[in-house]
């Protein structure tokens, strides 16, 4: 903790000079305004005393009160969602805002400043940022959410490293010469290597050490911190210590690194301040790369025309305590698409427009894409019984919204479909056991590290396309030659303070709804899915061939023995 405070102080001192001129100008402007307000006029006497201009002292007191009252979604957005990417100047500006309308406008412009393609209705930077938060929570949790860990911090700020030198069990270790040489044993540690980080440099190595042996890897600039034998007498000596040319106690006589003396010791000592500077850059907010543009949201006019039927499904996956990823799945029957055959290939093209608005008609998200379906002309007739799926995941704050989607058949422009529905995004409260949506699909697989969180139907490191029914009350259908795959996440499991691990029982059941009989049941211990995490991902694949045609439901129950909470989630399906 002391090291991090030193790092933040180093970064803050470096930035102070840049902000002073801004404050000086603001002070002059405030003084000028006060001087003008002090000149009495006849018009002043007619102004309501409650609406008179406030003095600098009154304005400062009001701003202080607003800062103290900042809470809820806006406090979470500031202190959690963008904690690692917001600049000091932006943070101060946000804290000085006086009402929620100003905060909403600020957040909109915050993301717009970072949008790599301002003319696009999508904001790739924002979507990638929340994807990284979700990935960090999934992979780096250690008795606390993954975004709060040092590995989560670096991943969110800079993305996946180009390579990782991982030693998850620690153990025997041969020191390189620049660390003193010799044999020792280490705690678990990882070294992340980035070939290039903009604003920081080339060939950056970032080291994390798990000294508590509990999965909580913390950032360190001391490459000697991973040495598990550093304080064990007579063990883990460096080459020079073995030859009697140095003493082990010399490692701890000052400096930020506790490396043993060696042939490169003097050169390494001169690099200590380089490591401090690197650390200050790593933990400082990244620079804004894109220009500040206004009017990010573009209004779209929905086209009226003949009905083009399609089905929509929405799911909910927690990203942070107050941000929810909302995957939206649009399913279209190929039979309803107009195909044009050219060169032996039948092609159907569908334009999709979506918009999420608040109850006050403020647009918060838009997406616009084209789905193209191609089939060899001789196989077109067989493919008409299939369905085409479009999938889009949107990060949203909890609350009530309206979701509107319009689709247009490009080869038949008068063929248009429109969908509108309420979208109630849930809030995931701290300390309360909760789950994501339970998603059923006929295909599920783990994606490569390069595709994690990217592409259609990918949540974290799992590819699963939800089956979509015409309405929420209608079960999805599976054929007996298909697999039933289900996916769900569990949040806020209790963590034992002594063992830093969870302790819950997870039960899967397949129930025949006609007889209410349990056809299949399987029990798991939460430690089998992730011992040190308060969040678990439940995935299961089952062949449908063993089930007779009929109506069923998947039931997943979670019994948390630490928090003494229970939760269950179910989803109906039909076997044809």
Residue of 390, 268, 267 lying closest to 329 (CA atoms)? 390
Say which residues have a Cβ less than 8 Å from residue 27's Cβ, sequence separation at least 6: none
Q: State if pTM tops 0.75.
A: no
Q: How many residues does this entry show for the chain?
A: 576
pLDDT per residue, tens digit, the chain (576 aa), is 444 444 444 444 444 333 333 333 333 333 443 344 344 444 444 445 545 666 666 666 665 555 555 678 888 999 899 999 888 778 888 888 878 888 888 898 888 888 877 667 778 889 999 999 999 999 999 989 999 999 999 999 999 999 999 999 999 998 888 788 888 999 999 999 998 888 788 889 999 999 999 999 999 988 888 999 988 888 888 887 888 788 887 777 666 678 776 666 655 655 667 778 888 888 887 665 433 322 322 344 444 556 889 999 999 999 887 889 999 999 999 999 999 998 888 999 888 888 888 888 787 888 888 888 888 988 888 888 888 889 999 989 899 998 888 888 888 877 888 888 899 999 998 889 999 999 998 889 888 766 666 678 888 888 899 999 888 778 999 988 888 999 999 999 999 888 889 999 999 999 999 999 999 999 999 888 888 888 899 999 988 888 899 999 999 999 999 999 999 999 999 998
Using the structure block, give the residue that is written with the tokens 């911190």.
Answer: 225
Residue of 422, 519, 517, 515 lying closest to 472 (CA atoms)? 422
453: left (phi over 0), alpha (psi -120 to 50) or beta: left
Return the SS3 of 217. Answer: coil
Residue 140 neighbours by CB distance under 10 Å: 25
The domain ranges of the chain are: 10-45+56-113, 141-282, 297-428, 430-576
Decide if 297-428 and 430-576 have a common fold: yes
- For domain 297-428, give the fold: Immunoglobulin-like (2.60.40)
Domain over 430-576 is classified CATH 2.60.40.3880: yes
Residue of 557, 435, 561 lying closest to 502 (CA atoms)? 561
Residue 110 burial (10 A CB sphere; 0-12, 13-18, 19+): buried
């Amino acid at each position: 903790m002391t090291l991090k405070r030193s790092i933040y102080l180093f970064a803050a001192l470096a930035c102070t000079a840049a902000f002073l001129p801004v404050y000086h100008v603001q002070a002059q402007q405030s003084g000028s305004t006060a001087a003008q307000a002090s000149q009495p006029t006849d018009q002043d006497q007619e102004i309501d005393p409650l609406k008179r201009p406030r003095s600098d002292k009154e304005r400062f007191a009001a701003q202080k009160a607003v800062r103290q009252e900042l809470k809820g979604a806006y406090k979470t957005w500031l202190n959690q969602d963008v904690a690692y990417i917001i600049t000091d100047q932006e943070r101060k500006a946000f804290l000085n805002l006086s009402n929620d309308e100003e905060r909403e406008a600020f957040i909109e412009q915050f993301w717009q400043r970072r949008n790599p393609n301002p003319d696009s209705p999508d904001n790739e930077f924002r979507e990638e940022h929340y994807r990284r938060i979700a990935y960090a929570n999934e992979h780096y949790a250690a008795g606390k959410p993954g975004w709060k860990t040092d590995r989560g911090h670096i991943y969110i700020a800079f993305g996946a490293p180009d390579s990782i030198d991982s030693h998850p069990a620690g153990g025997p270790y041969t020191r390189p010469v620049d660390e003193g040489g010799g044999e020792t044993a280490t705690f678990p540690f990882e070294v992340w290597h980035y070939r290039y980080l903009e604003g920081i440099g080339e060939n950056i190595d970032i080291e994390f050490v798990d000294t508590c042996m509990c999965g909580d890897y913390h950032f360190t600039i001391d490459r000697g911190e991973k040495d598990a034998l550093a304080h064990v007498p007579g063990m883990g000596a460096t080459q020079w210590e073995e030859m009697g040319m140095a003493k082990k106690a010399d490692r701890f006589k000052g400096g930020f690194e506790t490396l043993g003396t060696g042939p490169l010791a003097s050169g390494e000592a001169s690099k200590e301040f380089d490591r401090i500077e690197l650390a200050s850059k790593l933990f400082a907010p990244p620079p804004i790369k894109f220009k500040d543009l206004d009017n990010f949201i573009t209004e779209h006019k929905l086209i009226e025309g003949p009905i083009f039927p399609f089905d929509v499904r929405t799911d909910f996956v927690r990203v942070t305590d107050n941000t929810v990823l909302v995957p939206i799945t649009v399913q279209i029957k190929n039979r309803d698409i107009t195909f044009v055959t050219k060169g032996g290939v039948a092609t159907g093209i569908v334009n999709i427009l979506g918009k999420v608005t608040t109850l006050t008609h403020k647009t918060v998200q838009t997406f616009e894409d084209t789905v193209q379906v191609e089939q060899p002309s001789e196989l077109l007739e067989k493919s008409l019984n299939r369905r085409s799926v479009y999938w889009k995941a949107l990060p949203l704050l909890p609350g009530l919204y309206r979701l509107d989607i319009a689709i247009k058949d490009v080869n038949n422009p008068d063929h248009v479909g429109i969908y509108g529905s309420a979208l109630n995004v849930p809030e995931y409260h701290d300390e309360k056991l909760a789950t994501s949506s339970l998603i059923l699909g006929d295909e599920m697989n783990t994606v490569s590290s390069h595709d994690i969180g990217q592409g259609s139907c990918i949540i974290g490191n799992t590819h699963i396309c939800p089956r979509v029914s015409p309405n929420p009350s209608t079960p999805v259908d599976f054929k007996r030659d298909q697999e039933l795959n289900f996916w769900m996440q569990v949040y806020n499991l209790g963590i034992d303070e002594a063992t830093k691990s969870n302790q819950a029982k997870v039960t899967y059941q397949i129930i025949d709804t006609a007889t209410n009989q349990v056809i299949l049941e399987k029990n798991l211990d939460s430690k089998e899915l992730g011992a040190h995490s308060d969040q678990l991902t439940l995935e299961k694949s089952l062949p449908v061939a063993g089930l007779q045609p009929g109506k069923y439901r998947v039931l997943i129950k979670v019994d948390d023995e630490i928090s003494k909470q229970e939760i269950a989630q179910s989803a109906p399906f039909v076997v044809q």
